[in-house]
């Protein structure tokens, strides 16, 4: 038998060490909610609780201890933390979904939830470290019309589990997710309620990405339908739209959505020939406009609590402002 040379022995040793190290690596995969090992899940929940307590009390020093080195060197991190802290002070949040992940790829990995019906989703993210944890939070109270989602990503660095990123984005508007709003808008579109469909699709687009990694599995056509609604609206109604059957022929120059504590509702901006300071006359004309609007734009006053109106002395130029008088039509 030929003796092994020193270099050969060294090479075999390295190969054995590599095989041993590979066998110790955790198997790639994603574990959701109750699938996460109990001890790990408890540790993650402690991290979440510490972060939320620090955000509620503006404990910036402790928050910095939880952040990764990359986050500490990113200028806009502080603003993100402040935004999340503001939401936590306004409402209590619970975990909506959570994932413990052992990544297979560094460039981009995926987790999928196919169990939520039309709200099923996929998240595509960078595998920053081999082990990661993603926590998604939504308000405890489902009665809130406008609900945001808080997303926190943790990664296991060689110096411990640290926060990789945090964000807060709209999740529900008027109590509905983007796919749910899309379903409402599609029904309106098929009933030829094109303006109302467009306004509803605008809301769907506002909450179609609760975080930067999120993709709804059943929302591929929202942009296409929105563009169709816009095109039909532009063709059918030539803005500014003159309300012929109202004295003084007020002209609608803009229709969009406006946020309130009760949700998002249509706001109709129009030019009136009545002196804005004569609020009694402006209100009287607005009562006539409300009747006309219902006929001109089918569906606009259905399934809504309010319509907001802004009577202006003239059309604004660009982003400029003009004298105006605001009114609210309480429908429900």
Q: Are 228 and 197 within 8 A, CB to CB? A: no
The DSSP 8-state label assigned to residue 208 in this structure reads S
Give the model's pLDDT for residue 104: 82
What is the arrangement of strands in the sheet containing 160-172, beginning at the earlier edge strand? 29-32, 93-102, 131-139, 147-157, 160-172
- This prediction has a pTM of 0.89
Give the model's pLDDT for residue 266: 97
Contacts of 251 (CB under 8 A, 6+ apart): 240, 241, 242, 243, 270, 271, 315
282-331, pLDDT tens digit by residue? 999 999 999 999 999 999 999 999 999 999 999 888 777 889 999 999 99
| Domains 26-171 and 237-332 fall in the same CATH topology | no
Q: Are 289 and 273 within 8 A, CB to CB? A: no
Q: Are 238 and 279 within 8 A, CB to CB? A: no
Domain 26-171 has CATH 3.90.550: no
- Return the ∠ at Cα 187 (arms to 224 and 301), rounded to 5°: 110
Higher local confidence (pLDDT), 21 or 276: 276
Give the model's pLDDT for residue 8: 44
Residue 21 has pLDDT above 50, yes or no: no
29-43, pLDDT tens digit by residue? 999 999 999 999 999
Residue 18 has pLDDT above 60, yes or no: no
Instruction: Sketch the domain layout of the chain as residue ranges.
Output: 26-171, 173-236, 237-332
Residue 248 has pLDDT above 60, yes or no: yes
98-128, pLDDT tens digit by residue? 999 999 877 678 999 999 999 999 999 988 8
Domain 237-332 has CATH 3.30.300: yes
Mean pLDDT of 144-159: 96
Give the model's pLDDT for residue 24: 40
Give the model's pLDDT for residue 12: 43
160-192, pLDDT tens digit by residue? 999 999 999 999 999 999 999 999 999 999 999
Give the model's pLDDT for residue 28: 87
Closest to 124 measured CA to CA, from 138, 109, 134, 137: 109
Residue 6 has pLDDT above 50, yes or no: no
Helix (H) or strand (E) holding 269: strand 263-271
């Amino acid at each position: 038998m030929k003796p092994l040379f020193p270099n050969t022995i060294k090479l075999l040793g390295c190969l054995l060490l590599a095989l041993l190290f590979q066998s110790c690596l955790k198997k790639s995969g994603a574990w959701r909610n109750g699938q996460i090992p109990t001890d790990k899940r408890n540790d993650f929940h402690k991290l979440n609780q510490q972060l939320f307590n620090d955000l509620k009390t503006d404990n910036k020093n402790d928050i910095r201890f939880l952040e990764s080195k990359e986050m500490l060197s990113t200028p806009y991190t502080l603003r993100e933390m402040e935004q999340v802290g503001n939401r936590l002070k306004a409402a209590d949040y619970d975990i909506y979904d959570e994932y413990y992940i052992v990544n297979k790829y560094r460039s981009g990995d995926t987790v999928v939830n196919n169990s939520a019906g039309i709200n099923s989703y996929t998240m595509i993210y960078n595998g920053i470290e081999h082990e990661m944890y993603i926590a998604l939070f939504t308000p405890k109270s489902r009665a809130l019309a406008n609900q945001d989602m808080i997303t926190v990503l943790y990664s296991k660095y060689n110096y411990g589990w640290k926060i990789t990123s945090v964000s807060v984005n709209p999740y529900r508007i008027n109590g509905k997710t983007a796919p749910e709003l899309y379903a409402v808008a599609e029904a309106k579109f098929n009933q030829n309620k094109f303006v109302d469909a467009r306004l509803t699709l605008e809301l769907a687009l506002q909450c179609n990405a609760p975080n930067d990694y999120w993709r709804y599995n059943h929302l591929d056509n929202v942009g296409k339908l929105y563009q169709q609604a816009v095109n039909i609206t532009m063709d059918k109604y030539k803005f500014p739209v003159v309300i012929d059957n109202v004295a003084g022929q007020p002209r609608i120059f803009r229709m969009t959505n406006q946020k309130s504590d009760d949700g998002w509702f249509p706001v109709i901006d129009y030019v009136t020939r009545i002196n804005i300071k004569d609020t009694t006359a402006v209100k009287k004309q607005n009562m006539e406009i409300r009747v006309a609007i219902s006929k001109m734009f089918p569906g606009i006053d259905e399934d809504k609590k309010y319509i907001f109106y802004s009577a202006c002395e003239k059309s604004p130029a660009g982003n400029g402002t003009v004298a105006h008088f605001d009114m609210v039509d309480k429908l429900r």
